[in-house]
Structure 1
Amino acid sequence: MTVVLTRDAVPIEETWNLADLFASPEDWEREREAVLAELAKLESLRGTLQQGPRQVLEVLTLADELDQRVSKLFAYALLARDQDTRDTAAAERYERAVHVGTVAGRASAWIAPELLTSYDDAALLGMIEQEPGLAPFRRLLERLVRERPHVRSAEVEQLLAETMPLAQAPATAFTLLDNADIRYGTVTDVDGTTIELTKGRYQLLLERRERRVRQEAYQVFHAPYIAHRHTLAALLSAANQRDTFYARARRYESALAAALHPDNIPLEVYTTLIDLVRQHRHLLQRYLAVRKRVLSLERLRTYDLYVPLVERADHRYTYAEARELVLAALRPLGSEYIEPLQQGLASRWVDVHETVGKRSGGYSLGVYGVHPYILLNWNGTLREVFTLAHEVGHAMHSYFSSRAQPHPTAEYTIFVAEVASTFNERLLTHALLERATDARERAALVNDALDTFRIALFRQTLFAEFELLTHQAVERGEGLSADGLCELYGRLISEYYGPDLEVDEEVRHEWSRVPHFYRAFYVYQYATGLVAATALARAVLAGDEAAQQRYLAFLAAGSSKDSLDLLRDAGVDLTTPEPYLAAFATMEQDLVTLEEALTQLGILQSA
């Protein structure tokens, strides 16, 4: 294990370039002050919307321009904070950005209620014919009509906007505790050397053949979360209380309805996912049974789920090697996709390496009018190559949407966000399988594909059910305690994973370290995204040129239609069982392929 780098030790070409947003913190501060002044101008227009479509256009245009500028301010502050969470100046700048967001919310809070009180639905939707300049705001007006029952008075909307810093407090506290304050201790390697544990190293250690090392890393990693269990339960409870408050304030029947309704996602999509995954959990349990037999264990522990079933050469990829692998895998999308991606990766879109204080994990952040940014914590594994492909999917979705759409419809919804990222993972798997000549390597790749189903489809759906049940408990007026959360999470683990996995104290506490739980009802979209991406990638890889063009059109569509309609246009309908059943069929075929390959290699003996 290498020492975690300091930021000044990283080659500049492998860091992102925040100067593309603002040349300096001083420039950022000047823009912040200018935006605050402009927001005051927007608020001064209150009471003018009844003057007609031309005035509506003026107000909406100003509000949209300011939203774009606020987003840019927030992006710079977020990225600077995440590259070193110990940087107090960056943390303070982030708080000032949150304040600007609060002011922006207050300054525009009156627009929706004033439009709704000034015009009926027909008049709102008919404005575009009277004032063609309103065309970019068509989706905004359509959504406003749909949301009419949930938009409150201008006074209430302003008050809700004022609560934004309070709403972000649980997630902010969790992020700082999880990334800046928690230290994991050390693990003793097989040769007696001491390894300082980090999130990036933890994933590497879970893949080690030596079970004692995996177990120690697992216990050391979870120890601080168990030690802070009551604090973490209070933070998660606060996040759930927040979601319930906003749902009730906007007259939704539940926090789930509040999360799904704005994007016109039926509740049945969420519940059907959980039902179908539960009906097919025998596939997950079959895979775990194979894993148990190959590892010669009486019972699996969670730290046994990541070690590869097939030993392969311990190859570590440089970032440059991984970049070329990903570009080659994505070539079925054509030069229209590959050329701007090559240019972007060469133009410091990506912050590559794990450094002291850097936020863990990976993400992509699109910035309209600039370019996407990608955060990685590079450890050289094949899994990290897949992370690069995943985040590139998000980045290129942002790139195409921003290039094709006006700002009001450029930001795609969360529901479709995971489609583009998982699509890229499927293409990478296919490319690696195509180039693999060794049976052992092919078996390892199929194993990786099955782990994707395990993690993205089954684990994320388990998370989704956990979220649903915890929110329902809060809505019934029940508290969320550490003991209660551990009991619930442990029960779900047992039900999904079956008898071959031991539910130990560490996995019962897994809920306490999942950052996505602070963004309500997000994780289920990893599962629906995998289902949709599996179908779309299959069509593109079959050489269907029309499917390729439909997919590129989907990437460029932003939020110009409802999410389900965009996916239907691309060729998949998530309101029907068919794509889910097709995904389960693909997983079952992968299982058969793995079992046959392991048997041929003499790794899996007959039961």
Structure 2
Amino acid sequence: MSQTSTALPVREDIQSEYKWHVEDIYATEEQWQTDLAKVKNDLPAIGAYKDTLSQSVDKLAACLRLRDEINILAGKLFAYARLHRDENTANAKYQALVGKTEGMLAEASAATSFIEPEILAMPDQVLATYRREQPLADYSFYFDNLDRQKQHILSPAEEEILSRSAEATQASETIFNMLAHADMKFPDISGKNGNPVALSEGRYRSLIMSNDRRVRKDAFTGLFGTYNSYRNTFAATLSGNVKKNIFYARTRKFASTLESALSDGNIPVGVYDNLLATINSNLAPLHRYIALKKKALQLDTIHMYDLYTPLAQHVKFDIPYADGLKLVRDGLAPLGPEYTDILNKGLTSGWIDVYENKGKQTGAYCWGVYGVHPFVLLNYNDRLEDVSTLAHEMGHAIHSHYSQATQPYATSQYTIFTAEVASTTNEILLNDYLLKTTTDKQKKLYLINQYLEMVRATVYRQTMFAEFERDIYNKAEDGETLTADLLDEMWHNLNVKYYGPDMVVDKEIDIEWARIPHFYWNFYVYQYVTGYAAATTLAAKMLEEKADAQKKYIGFLKSGGSDYPINILKKAGVDMSTPEPVELTLNKFSGMLDELEKILSIS
């Protein structure tokens, strides 16, 4: 099935084989309602443990197990509602179910908020004695991590207040999603053949890669011109989200919002700052890439809307979904037969929602559901980029599968820091496979550009995002108001610095900050960079060391959240406390620039 018609299909027109099986979570809405009622009924039961946890190891263990049961059910309830909503974000029924679930999650958080303060108030000797007992065996790392964060956990009453505030403080992100993905209407533009094309976020990704410069410029101005019409609203939603995170960080006695965000993974702030410093010291290869791209495209001036243009302009990778599946299977073969078996199961068992339809959530993601299986959202449009996205999201999915199959719930949730390693390793292996098996010179040129674009978008661009995020929080924490004008100026200046002297930084790009959902996820994006650097190292080991590297890698995937991410990666063979993984990545990027220059010189 190809999504090449100008009008987006409605959900009902998509064939069932290309839809995920949300019914694997709940076969009917009645079952969903039953579990929602069960969670609500369990909340008073867990509340009955309040002020009793120090009485016996059995009470403490029973309370923690009941919390796990509540959280597992809550995860299923939210996933069912959210996945259905994302099939069509304008569907009022599932908007309502998501709202119901968010209310339930806030209630559950409030009802269980006494647990950690009460554990921390227990005499050290009592807790140490309890921890040696079998009923608490699954919670050893949980207790270690809790003790580490002791100074940031408040009294039971204060924790309950913070928990109850969660639903109200999600308003900024909710408004952003509704405005950007449901209410905002983009203009039609004239396609390459002159026929009108309905511009959407999903279609923009194809249009901006068009060989026709007029098409990509029109898509660029149409998309960002629409965002610019709502610039003050987007500034207000982003500012509200920043204020929310500052409030929680200060309430929990962190020195900064950044420190608060990194605390969960026990990541030192220095890792973040050093990453930005390292990339800022190595912008020259990116500037060189822009200059080479300008030359390859034979442009007098290179604009922001030229960035995504393939260097081999007459190469067409029209990859139907079935062919994309084969490429992913072949490209990921170095991960070994055990991994491949799970991959095949995921590709054929209703894990994936493949094609774009009217109202569908844009982009792509993986959603792990404990006790069920992962779910992957795609908006597949027969491009090589879509094949890479499939490999990426299946990396997340198989990471979730291994973690949830191997770890008890208490340690099944891996951190974001390691999540991006599992997904990006797949992308790198796929790209390496394509480069090695492609002999056509123009296709080889295209693939080299694909690799360079991956590094540009994942390492350089995400570091630029991370720098923007750090800077807006610094300004907000100093009391400065985040106006649309200020955000535009900051974004423009960063683009000038990162892309260098050859790039014309068009005025339209200044509003791009308004389009980025990751800025509502609180210092998330830097982990794309660290993840890519770790993945580059792991992929190299997989190709060189083979069986031993496969074994270590599967061990990494099975580790879930059973240790701090830097320790987990070190066991897999990557030391993220050193600059070596980032340096290896930038060296590989520079080497690929050399290959590009050779091809251009003989073309």
Fold similarity call, TM over 0.5 = yes
Give the one of 177, 180, 183 matched to 1:181.
Answer: 183
Give TM-score scaled by structure 2 length. Answer: 0.98
Note the C-alpha offset of 1:474. 1.1
Matched AA of 1:379: N
2:131 is aligned with 1:128: yes
- Distance in 2, matches of 1:347 and 1:190, equals 37
- Describe the superposition over 1:141-182 as per-residue Cα deviations: whole angstroms up to 9, x where unpaired: 111101110000000000000011122111111111111011
3-state DSSP of counterpart to 1:377: coil
Match of 2:157 in 1: 155
Paired residues for 1:366-515 under 5 Å: 366-515=368-517
Conserved 8 A contact 2:391-2:430: yes
Conserved 8 A contact 1:467-1:521: yes
Note the C-alpha offset of 1:119. 2.7
Matched AA of 1:475: E
Match of 1:137 in 2: 139
Paired residues for 1:25-424 under 5 Å: 25-120=29-124, 123-129=126-132, 131-424=133-426
Note the C-alpha offset of 1:312. 4.6
Q: Across the two proteins, how many residue pairs are aligned to each other?
A: 599
Conserved 8 A contact 1:432-1:445: yes
- Describe the superposition over 1:320-357 as per-residue Cα deviations: whole angstroms up to 9, x where unpaired: 11111101111111121111221221111000000000
Matched AA of 2:379: N
Root-mean-square deviation over aligned CA pairs? 1.1
Matched AA of 2:279: V
- Distance in 1, matches of 2:253 and 2:526, equals 23
3-state DSSP of counterpart to 1:542: helix
Matched AA of 2:385: R
Note the C-alpha offset of 1:128. 2.2
- Describe the superposition over 1:177-203 as per-residue Cα deviations: whole angstroms up to 9, x where unpaired: 111011111111243211111112111
Note the C-alpha offset of 1:423. 0.2
Give the direction of change, closer, same or farther, for the CA distance of 1:307–1:156 in structure 2 (3 Å limit).
same
Note the C-alpha offset of 1:69. 0.8
**Which range moved further: 449-458 or 326-335?**
326-335
Matched AA of 1:128: R
- Distance in 2, matches of 1:127 and 1:389, equals 44
3-state DSSP of counterpart to 1:215: helix
Paired residues for 1:486-565 under 5 Å: 486-565=488-567
- Distance in 1, matches of 2:72 and 2:194, equals 54
Give the direction of change, closer, same or farther, for the CA distance of 1:444–1:71 in structure 2 (3 Å limit).
same
3-state DSSP of counterpart to 2:315: coil
- Distance in 1, matches of 2:489 and 2:315, equals 40
Conserved 8 A contact 2:334-2:546: no
**Which range moved further: 536-545 or 108-117?**
536-545
- Distance in 2, matches of 1:106 and 1:39, equals 9
Conserved 8 A contact 2:315-2:446: no
Conserved 8 A contact 1:125-1:142: no
Match of 2:15 in 1: 11
- Distance in 2, matches of 1:281 and 1:299, equals 20
Matched AA of 1:21: I
- Distance in 1, matches of 2:193 and 2:269, equals 53
Note the C-alpha offset of 1:311. 2.8
Note the C-alpha offset of 1:123. 4.4
Matched AA of 2:41: A
Matched AA of 1:63: R
3-state DSSP of counterpart to 1:411: coil
- Describe the superposition over 1:574-597 as per-residue Cα deviations: whole angstroms up to 9, x where unpaired: 111111111110110011011112
Give the one of 575, 578, 589 matched to 1:576.
Answer: 578
- Distance in 2, matches of 1:34 and 1:146, equals 33
**Which range moved further: 226-235 or 168-177?**
168-177
**Which range moved further: 437-446 or 76-85?**
437-446
Matched AA of 2:252: R
Conserved 8 A contact 1:124-1:141: no
- Distance in 2, matches of 1:119 and 1:412, equals 30
- Describe the superposition over 1:235-288 as per-residue Cα deviations: whole angstroms up to 9, x where unpaired: 000010011000011000010000111211011110111000001110110000
- Distance in 1, matches of 2:414 and 2:317, equals 36
Unaligned runs of 5+ in 2: none
Match of 1:605 in 2: none
Conserved 8 A contact 1:312-1:441: no
Give the direction of change, closer, same or farther, for the CA distance of 1:125–1:291 in structure 2 (3 Å limit).
farther
Conserved 8 A contact 2:315-2:442: no
- Distance in 2, matches of 1:254 and 1:525, equals 18
Give the direction of change, closer, same or farther, for the CA distance of 1:144–1:125 in structure 2 (3 Å limit).
farther
- Describe the superposition over 1:295-324 as per-residue Cα deviations: whole angstroms up to 9, x where unpaired: 222332111000101135323211111111
- Distance in 1, matches of 2:138 and 2:192, equals 61
Note the C-alpha offset of 1:12. 0.5
Unaligned runs of 5+ in 1: 603-607
- Describe the superposition over 1:487-544 as per-residue Cα deviations: whole angstroms up to 9, x where unpaired: 1111111111111112222111110100000001000000011000000000101243
- Distance in 1, matches of 2:488 and 2:20, equals 39
Conserved 8 A contact 1:349-1:372: yes
3-state DSSP of counterpart to 1:50: coil
**Which range moved further: 558-567 or 47-56?**
47-56
3-state DSSP of counterpart to 1:253: coil
- Distance in 2, matches of 1:554 and 1:88, equals 41
Matched AA of 2:466: A
Matched AA of 1:91: Q
- Describe the superposition over 1:401-426 as per-residue Cα deviations: whole angstroms up to 9, x where unpaired: 11111111111101111001110001
3-state DSSP of counterpart to 1:378: coil
Note the C-alpha offset of 1:8. 1.1
